[in-house]
Amino acid sequence: MKNNNEQNEVPSNAELLQGVFQEYCAEIKKALIEQSYTKPTPIQEQCMHPISEGKDVIGIAQTGTGKTAAFSLPLLQRMQANDRQFKTRNPKVLMLAPTRELASQIGESIEKYGTNLPFRHTVIFGGVGQKPQVNALRRGVNILVATPGRLIDLMDQGYIHLEEISCFILDEVDRMLDMGFIHAIRRILKVVPEDRQTLFFSATMPPAMEKLALSMVRKNPIRVSIAPKEPAVDRIKQSLFRVPKSSKLNLLLKLFENEDLKKVVVFTQMKHMANRVAKKLQSVEISCAAIHGNKSQAARTKALQNFKSGSSRALIATDVAARGLDINNVTHVINFDLPVEAETYVHRIGRTARAGAEGEAFSFCGKDEADQLKSIERLLRKPIPEMETPELPKVESKNREDEFSNRSRPPQRRFSRKPNSNNSSSSQNRPRNRSRNRH
């Protein structure tokens, strides 16, 4: 920890900061400059004053617009201005996220922006042992970042007490409710104080979802909705390949022959298919890793780190990675399988073309995915341009019944009895004992 004089010094190059970034305290200004983060995005510009003043906010902006910094920066500013109120052993701020990856990302942001501040935070989620998390809670935290399941689990065990919460933040609220966390959220709302600051942030907010959000905040929340000059989807070059399911792997390998595919997220619908795709790419020496719900947290964290650092060329993911994750410089997104929900398509391809960059998305569509394609194009209000599928190696299709019929089967023993001529009538009336045939 640096001494107070050192922390309070305004950085010599503070003039580099623009907009509301100039209004933050010296500690936050220094962190922003260290991160080369000098210009606020529109949602960060509009959220700074209401959040730092303790007002409730519903923030809506597309992915890649800096929503995490939009609530974490002004919150840290508010905490610094009222440090005595926020320096307690029990959490004063609760940040709820739908997935482990998003919770970890929020924790990283708090670590970066609050590095010069005296507040402690920790991140808790399932899939890993709870002991280190419990130890952190026992030492005392001011900011708690959590997923709903592990939070309630530790509440039930008596390790977490939320009676002193001053600020409750839900990130990706629509996704959280889509994933069935509404009951968990309502249970948490019964515990946290009614007189608290509540912040909702998400990429989308359908009317029904907004009605639910409004029921959770105090009267007259500030609504911040950023309508981009150019929707992120429009900055992404989208292409569609109509390809049989059996040829998708070969098409994927063909696309990876193009060296322009430098940093690629490949989305599959099923976990086992993510593993299969990763194995196939690795067999031709394309560095990649799969990430999905059946992977351990350590494996998921390592896969993300390798992809972010550039050690892996591709990340094979189910929709666990489609929302919230901020990975820089993703050049391409490939929908190996089309998503069931059309909105998920927008979130998937939103992994590229972030922060104003360009990006490209390829989608594979089999005959059985025609209805999904119609829903996606209806949402986009335009068809996805089709590309001619390149010549691929022929895949021998096997009839499943033939495949099973060709398998070698152990010879079956047949048991037969010759009726005893002396007891033929009695044997016909007696039930046959087939127990020998069952074992």
Q: What are 236-283's pLDDT values in tens digits?
A: 999 999 999 999 999 999 999 999 999 999 999 999 999 999 999 999
- Same domain for 48 and 180, yes or no, is yes
Q: What are 214-239's pLDDT values in tens digits?
A: 888 888 899 998 865 555 577 799 99
CATH of the domain at 122: 3.40.50.300
- Same domain for 144 and 93, yes or no, is yes
Backbone angles phi, psi at 314, to 5 degrees: -135, 150
DSSP per residue over 205-221, as a string? Answer: --HHHHHHHHTTS-SSP
Strands laid side by side in the 314-317 sheet: 236-242, 359-365, 332-335, 264-267, 314-317, 288-291
Q: Is residue 269 part of a domain?
A: yes
2 pLDDT higher than 80: no
Domain of residue 187 covers 4-225
- Same domain for 237 and 188, yes or no, is no
pLDDT of residue 423: 47
HEC string for 132-150: HHHHHHHHCCCEEEECHHH
Cα distance between residue 77 and residue 337, in whole Å: 43
Average pLDDT for residues 303-308, to the nearest whole number?
92
- Same domain for 115 and 192, yes or no, is yes
Cα distance between residue 295 and residue 126, in whole Å: 12
CB 93 within 8 A of CB 169: yes
Backbone angles phi, psi at 317, to 5 degrees: -140, 150
Strands laid side by side in the 121-124 sheet: 121-124, 143-146, 93-96, 167-171, 197-202, 57-60, 222-225
- Same domain for 209 and 247, yes or no, is no
Which DSSP helix (H) or strand (E) runs through 238? Answer: strand 236-242
Cα distance between residue 235 and residue 4, in whole Å: 45
Cα distance between residue 92 and residue 164, in whole Å: 6
Task: Give the range with max mean pLDDT: 100-114, 316-330, 411-425.
Answer: 100-114
- Same domain for 80 and 203, yes or no, is yes
Q: Which one is predicted more confidently, 379 or 20? A: 20
Mean pLDDT of the chain: 85
Q: Is residue 140 part of a domain?
A: yes
Q: Is residue 17 part of a domain?
A: yes
Average pLDDT for residues 18-34, to the nearest whole number?
95
89 pLDDT higher than 60: yes
Q: Is residue 296 part of a domain?
A: yes
pLDDT of residue 230: 53
SS3 199: strand
- Same domain for 17 and 81, yes or no, is yes
- Same domain for 190 and 269, yes or no, is no
Residues 6+ apart with CB under 8 A from 346: 233, 379
Among residues 107, 202, 185, the alpha carbon closest in space to that of 148 is found at 185
pLDDT of residue 404: 36
Among residues 101, 144, 95, the alpha carbon closest in space to that of 298 is found at 101
Angle of helix 100-113 relative to helix 67-81, nearest 10 degrees, comes to 50
pTM greater than 0.85 (yes/no): no
Cα distance between residue 121 and residue 93, in whole Å: 9
Q: What are 141-166's pLDDT values in tens digits?
A: 999 999 999 999 999 999 999 999 99
pLDDT of residue 421: 47
- Same domain for 245 and 200, yes or no, is no
CB 133 within 8 A of CB 149: no
Domains: count for the chain: 2
CB 267 within 8 A of CB 334: yes
Q: Of 380, 405, 425, which one is at a domain's C-terminal end?
A: 380
Q: Is residue 162 part of a domain?
A: yes
Among residues 82, 74, 86, the alpha carbon closest in space to that of 28 is found at 74
Q: Is residue 397 part of a domain?
A: no
Q: Of 360, 380, 400, which one is at a domain's C-terminal end?
A: 380
Cα distance between residue 122 and residue 134, in whole Å: 10
Cα distance between residue 287 and residue 267, in whole Å: 16
If you ran DSSP here, which 8-state letter would residue 340 be given? Answer: S
Q: How confident is the model at residue 50 (pLDDT cuts 50, 70, 90)?
A: very high
pLDDT of residue 437: 41
- Same domain for 254 and 122, yes or no, is no
pLDDT of residue 163: 94
pLDDT of residue 323: 63
Radius of gyration of the chain (CA): 28
Percentage of the chain exceeding pLDDT 70: 83
- Same domain for 217 and 266, yes or no, is no
- Same domain for 236 and 349, yes or no, is yes
Q: Of 225, 240, 262, which one is at a domain's C-terminal end?
A: 225
Q: Is residue 67 part of a domain?
A: yes
What are the CA-CA distances from residue 301 to residues 124, 143, 226 (Å)? 14, 22, 31
Q: What are 388-432's pLDDT values in tens digits?
A: 999 888 765 544 433 333 444 444 554 445 555 444 444 444 545
